[in-house]
Amino acid sequence: MASILIQQQVKDFSAWKKVYDSKKDFRASNGALSSQVFHDAGDPNKVTVVLKWDSLAKAQKYAASPELKANQELAGAQGIPSVSFLEEA
């Protein structure tokens, strides 16, 4: 199983979360099996997302998609996200 760990600063967590939740079908149609959302205890606008995938190739394709970039902009993401691709050991 593969995962993506994304850390991103956002303008407003509540607004970001509404957009994120509305894109559940987009994530699922690209192969996401599940997702978890966290925000930093000291800065609620610093978001960490962990997405699980059945394959690393699908995770990488999703992360490179123009639609994801558009969704991030719509949600108020700021700066360049930190993205790590992980494989279960």
pTM of the model: 0.89
Q: Check which CATH number belongs to the domain holding 69 and give it.
A: 3.30.70.100
The whole-angstrom separation of Cα 62 and Cα 27 is 8
Structural domains of the chain, count: 1
Show the domain range for 51. 2-87
pLDDT in 10s for each residue of the chain, 89 residues: 899 999 999 999 999 999 999 999 999 999 999 999 999 999 999 999 999 999 999 999 999 999 999 999 999 999 999 999 999 88
Q: How many CA atoms lie within 13 A of 52 on its CB side?
A: 6
pLDDT of residue 18: 96
pLDDT of residue 60: 95
Phi and psi at 44, nearest 5°, equal: -65, -15
